[in-house]
Every structure is written in structure tokens, then in C-alpha cells.
């Protein structure tokens, strides 16, 4: 049986956040997205008859939106385990203040911990090699240092993606270079289960084979296609003040038995 740090059985799990937790771009069997949270739920369900799971995450959401729209729902559900990951979409925007964000983040963690739930927090992947994110690397580092401190202060479990070298390889990411692919989500799920002390999740350590050599001309063509198909639409949404998640609803809005 899987149990929390205070001995409670992990009979229910609620996932809160943005596209990372929704599961983009890990294709699921039903035509939607699977993702690391579904993979973790699948493993936890093996140990607990009647296990229940909800995933409230929606792509594109900012930290304040997650805290306002999703956290109160998770609190009302009173699950045994809650995962909370948000803030990356804010940090991509000019003028984002990681210190102010940390106060909002800490308030949400206090509310979740007050229910008695075990809370799972995340640092992000080091954005050094990511074209859009690397210029904001300093903001990301400051915010995730805050997350580490908040996890320590409130007794949360921390999943440190920053240290996962396997996620530094582009083969763990989808074509948009912003969301992990199937293998990336599998590695994160394995790390989460390891942090939770649940066996059978596989290894989160990944040694990739040498990368094939790509001719400079082919590399330039690939970068141009990425800009046309992914970067420019992303910039356009920022200019219009819209989000990829504006018309999206949570894929598992109710805490229900997991099949």
C-alpha cells in the first residue's frame, strides 16, 4: 500500500497546474493527453482499491489563475495527495517578479497543507538550452529557489527537475520545444514515484545515445520551421492577450475512481 509521510493511505490524488500537469504532448489512448500525472495515478491505483484521481490542470494558465481557479477546488476535494506546479507561464513574460510570485505560491501551499494533504512541488527544468526561456533563466532560478524553500518550510515533497540531466536532451521534448514528449513525461513520472517512495516506476536517470550529426543547412531549416509553426503563434497570443487554454476545460474535473 502506498502511504503518505504521516501514514495516510494515498487513496486520492489531485493534480493542479498548467500544460506540464495536463500532459502536453504525451498522447493518450483516448486521443487526448496522458502525461506524468496520469502515469503516476496509474501506478498509485495498483496499490489502493477504489483509488480516486482528478486532474484540474489547464494549459497556458498563469500562477494567479491556478491559485484562484484550481486550488480552492482541490482544497474542497480534500485528497490525500496534491501536486502543485505553476508559474512557468508567468516567468516567460517580461517584468515577471519571482519574489512576488513566491508569496502567491506560498499562500496556496499553506491552504493545501491545511487540509492535511501531502503536497508535491516541483522545480522546473533548467531553461539554459531552451530558445524561448533561456533569457529568463535568472528569473526561473530565483523562483525555483523560492519553491525549494517553501517545500522545506511547509513540509512538502519536492521533485527537482532542474537536476534531471535526461530532460536536457531535445529527444525528451516535442517539436514545439516547450512541452515534453512521451519519454519526457515517463521520466518525470518515474522521478515523482521515486520521491513518493513508490516502487515500480522505472528509472528517471536517462543516458541518451550520441546525437546524430545534423548539417548546418538542415539545422537552419528546422529552426525556421519551428519559428513559423510554434514561436510566431506563441508571440501572437501574447500580443492579443489570449491563451492556448482559454477554451480548454480540465480533463478530469471530478475526484473519481481511476480506471
| pLDDT tens column, 35-94 | 999 999 999 999 999 999 999 999 999 999 999 999 999 999 999 999 999 999 999 888
Burial class for 111, CB neighbours closer than 10 Å (0-12, 13-18, 19+): middle
- What CATH number has the domain bearing residue 135? 3.40.50.1110
Q: Establish if 186 belongs to a structural domain.
A: yes
Q: Establish if 141 belongs to a structural domain.
A: yes
| pTM (global) more than 0.85 | yes
| Range from 8-22, 53-67, 209-223 carrying the lowest mean pLDDT | 209-223
Question: HSE-up of 17 (CA within 13 Å, CB side)?
Answer: 26
Range of the domain at 62: 12-257
Find out whether 120 and 165 touch, Cβ atoms under 8 Å.
no
The total number of structural domains in the chain stands at 1
Find out whether 84 and 113 touch, Cβ atoms under 8 Å.
no
Parallel, antiparallel, or unpaired: how do β-strands 52-55 and 12-17 relate?
A: parallel
Q: Establish if 6 belongs to a structural domain.
A: no
| Residue showing cell 512557468 | 88
Cα(250)–Cα(237) distance, integer angstroms: 21
Q: Establish if 80 belongs to a structural domain.
A: yes
Positive or negative: CA dihedral 24, 26, 32, 35: negative
Residue 206 pLDDT exceeds 80: yes
Find out whether 66 and 17 touch, Cβ atoms under 8 Å.
yes
Q: Establish if 242 belongs to a structural domain.
A: yes
Q: Establish if 5 belongs to a structural domain.
A: no
pLDDT tens figures, 113-146: 999 999 999 999 998 887 667 889 999 999 999 9
Q: Establish if 86 belongs to a structural domain.
A: yes
Q: Establish if 237 belongs to a structural domain.
A: yes
Amino acid at each position: 500500500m502506498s502511504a503518505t509521510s504521516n501514514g495516510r493511505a494515498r487513496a486520492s490524488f489531485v493534480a493542479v497546474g498548467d500544460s506540464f500537469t495536463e500532459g502536453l504532448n504525451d498522447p493518450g489512448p483516448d486521443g487526448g493527453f496522458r502525461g506524468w500525472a496520469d502515469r503516476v495515478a496509474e501506478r498509485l491505483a495498483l496499490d489502493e482499491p477504489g483509488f480516486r484521481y482528478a486532474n484540474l490542470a489547464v494549459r497556458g494558465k498563469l500562477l494567479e489563475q491556478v491559485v484562484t481557479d484550481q486550488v480552492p477546488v482541490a482544497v474542497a476535494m480534500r485528497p490525500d495527495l496534491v501536486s502543485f506546479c505553476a508559474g512557468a507561464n508567468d516567468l516567460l513574460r517580461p517584468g515577471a517578479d519571482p519574489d512576488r510570485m513566491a508569496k502567491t505560491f506560498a499562500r496556496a501551499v499553506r491552504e493545501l497543507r491545511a487540509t492535511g494533504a501531502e503536497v508535491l512541488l516541483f522545480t522546473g527544468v533548467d531553461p539554459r538550452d531552451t530558445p524561448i526561456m533561456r533569457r529568463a533563466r535568472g528569473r526561473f532560478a530565483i523562483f525555483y529557489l523560492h519553491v525549494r524553500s517553501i517545500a522545506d518550510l511547509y513540509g512538502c515533497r519536492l521533485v527537482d527537475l532542474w537536476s534531471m540531466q535526461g530532460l536536457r536532451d531535445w529527444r525528451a521534448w516535442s517539436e514545439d520545444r516547450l512541452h515534453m514528449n512521451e519519454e519526457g513525461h515517463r521520466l518525470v513520472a518515474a522521478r515523482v514515484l521515486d520521491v513518493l517512495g513508490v516502487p515500480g516506476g522505472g528509472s528517471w536517470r536517462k543516458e541518451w545515445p550520441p546525437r546524430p550529426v545534423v548539417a548546418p543547412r538542415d539545422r537552419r531549416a528546422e529552426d525556421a520551421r519551428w519559428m513559423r509553426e510554434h514561436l510566431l503563434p506563441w508571440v501572437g497570443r501574447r500580443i492579443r492577450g489570449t491563451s492556448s487554454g482559454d477554451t480548454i476545460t480540465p480533463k478530469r474535473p471530478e475526484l473519481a475512481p481511476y480506471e
